[in-house]
Amino acid sequence: MTTQFCAALDGTKCPPLLIFKGALAPESGMPRNGTIAKELIDREQHGAKYPAEAILSCNPKAYAYEAELVRTLTEQMKALPRPLIVNCDDYKCHKSERLKQVAEENNMTMYNTKGGLTPKFQLMDIAANAIVHQHVENENMGRMLKSPLDARGYPICMTRVELARSVCEGWAKVTREVLLRSAIKCGIARWFDYSPDEQERMGLRKVKIDPIIADLVSNEELPIFDTTVLDPLNLELCDLGDILGLDPEIEEDREELENIRFAQESLVASREAADQDLNAEELDIDRGMESVVHAAAEEERAEEEEVAPKRKKREQYSVQQLEVLNREFLKDAGRMKNEEIAKEISGLDGARTVTTADVRGWMSNARRARRAPA
């Protein structure tokens, strides 16, 4: 089963959409008796009623397809005021033309969170989903411990009605305070969006925005507050304080802000130093490789010059052949076998014939050249 939860930034919760695994209902007429689609339309399973607040649907894979998302816009969010900005993930069907058209007809604007940021930027992923999942898991575990065993010796699983009730009970545990604090943490709302009473009662000013989101919104314009709230003489810390929900006038918060700023500056400095060291190390490695290749080539030439006069002098390797030999020699892992190298470069571009023994000898000379003192 797939569950889909929606809530507004003012803490208003929408009824949950529950998507079960089952054959689709026919486009016209009623589903056949005994099917899951018919059961969901009747909202009853073996005499047990589904929760009245839940919106029910089914498809062969229990996924949130385009049809389910249309129901989200037209049924699940029906009670929310308009105009409305709808934030959803970057799933393909969330960007379909039909969904955009339905959103426009219902005075909504769709906004898609790009891949990778969903657990950081979506309201439900901060706390609400975890609360519901934990409740359902606890309910299921308690039921399994008490329920009788089936013919195979396994505990009898929850029925669809019991699962739906458990999800709705878990959703009821998600309070308005949880939603408001989650909205601030993921950066789509700020503590100053809510009333002073809510800020005080729910501790909204103490909620710290996720560091990844703080980096994304650090350059946005923030409202100007009264000097009793923020210190105008320390604007740099004030900006950071707004982002992280800290008050520079409070001594402990000011000290934390200064520590954060110092840590940021230290991190930037250490990264710059690491980049410089890495560039110098790469330059040394390149020079070392060039000297090894040069020494191997020199030894190869010297060995050929020492061949007896009666023996025909070996032909030189071509530039292309040497490039392949050098490439394979300098590999730390995944190096080709000598037989494979010989097969690749033998007669390359009309150059000399190369055997496995030739490759083995060249590699041996290159290794000796590398070990030789500079």
State pLDDT tens for residues 259-286. 666 666 666 677 677 777 777 766 766 6
H-type helices in the chain, by residue range? 36-42, 66-71, 97-105, 118-121, 123-126, 128-146, 160-172, 176-185, 196-202, 211-217, 235-244, 251-305, 319-329, 338-345, 356-371
- Find, among 122, 109, 111, 55, the residue nearest to 82 by Cα: 109
Confidence category of residue 167, pLDDT binned at 50, 70, 90: very high
- Find, among 36, 52, 77, the residue nearest to 164 by Cα: 52
Residue 356 scores a pLDDT above 80: yes
Q: Which two tokens stand for residue 58?
A: 């089914």
State pLDDT tens for residues 42-67. 998 888 899 999 999 999 999 888 88
Domains and CATH numbers, the chain: 2-174 (3.30.420), 180-249 (no CATH), 278-371 (no CATH)
Check: CB of residue 68 under 8 Å from CB of residue 75: no
Residue 18 scores a pLDDT above 50: yes
Q: What is the mean pLDDT of the chain?
A: 78
| Residue carrying the six token digits 């689609």 | 37
Q: Which two tokens stand for residue 135?
A: 């409740």
Dihedral sign for Cα 85, 90, 94, 100, please. positive
Confidence category of residue 15, pLDDT binned at 50, 70, 90: very high
pLDDT of residue 231: 38
**How far, in Å, are 3, 4, 328, 340, 360 from residue 293 at the CA level?**
62, 62, 11, 20, 15
Per the model's pLDDT, the better-predicted residue between 37 and 92 turns out to be 37
Confidence category of residue 309, pLDDT binned at 50, 70, 90: very low
Q: In this structure, what DSSP letter does residue 7 have?
A: B
pLDDT of residue 225: 40
* Model pTM score: 0.56
Q: How far apart are the first and last CA of the chain?
A: 69
Confidence category of residue 312, pLDDT binned at 50, 70, 90: very low
Provide mean pLDDT across the span 66-88: 89
Confidence category of residue 19, pLDDT binned at 50, 70, 90: very high
Half-sphere exposure of 6 (CA within 13 A, CB side): 24
Check: CB of residue 140 under 8 Å from CB of residue 169: no
Rounded Cα distance, 230 and 224, in Å: 9
Residues 6+ apart with CB under 8 A from 71: 17, 55, 57
Confidence category of residue 333, pLDDT binned at 50, 70, 90: confident
State pLDDT tens for residues 132-152. 999 999 988 888 888 788 788
Percent of the chain with pLDDT over 90: 22
pLDDT of residue 289: 64
Q: Which two tokens stand for residue 365?
A: 């000379």
Half-sphere exposure of 114 (CA within 13 A, CB side): 1
Confidence category of residue 224, pLDDT binned at 50, 70, 90: very low
Provide mean pLDDT across the span 337-342: 87
pLDDT of residue 25: 85
